Structure 1
Amino acid sequence: MTAITIRDVPDPTLEALKLKAAQTGRSLQAYLLDLVTRDARTPTLAEMMARLDRETRAEAAASDILAAIDEGRERR
């Protein structure tokens, strides 16, 4: 594995991260590794939109949509 160094972290930021790590019962290293890993696995908005576009394609004619609306109204 590769080591990563982050320079010039403001003291208040470091203290907040240490506190969050302690609250979860983990070391600062483990806490930050979890944060970085989750971020790396989280798809970007563009990736999510592309997936949504791929997975939600529907072929429906206007007549099918109108028929479904009419059917729903008849059930009321």
Structure 2
Amino acid sequence: MTTLYIRDVSDDVADILKERAAAEGKSLSAFVGAELTKIATRPTNAQIVARLRERDRSGGPTADEILEVVQAGRR
């Protein structure tokens, strides 16, 4: 397992992280490690866009149909 050192974290941010860790009954290291794991496992925006572009949308509504519904909702 790798050890990370994070420098130049403001006191305010460190205090918030400590409070959140305590609220979950975790050490600061365990809490931050879990948060980093969440971040690392989330897809990036570019990955999400790529997945959306790969989808077959031939059965979906047209742009004109969407605009009609949006405009009707504004009336």
Fold-level match, TM-score > 0.5?
Answer: yes
Residue equivalent to 1:43? 43
RMSD: 1.3
Residue equivalent to 1:57? 56
**Unpaired stretches in structure 1, ≥5 consecutive residues:** 61-76
Q: Percent identity?
A: 39
What TM-score do the two structures reach when normalised by structure 1?
Answer: 0.70
What TM-score do the two structures reach when normalised by structure 2?
Answer: 0.71
**Unpaired stretches in structure 2, ≥5 consecutive residues:** 60-75
> Secondary structure of 1:30's match?
helix
Deviating above 2 A after TM superposition, structure 1's stretches of 4 or more consecutive aligned residues are none
- When Rg is computed on C-alpha atoms for both structures, the one with the higher figure is 1
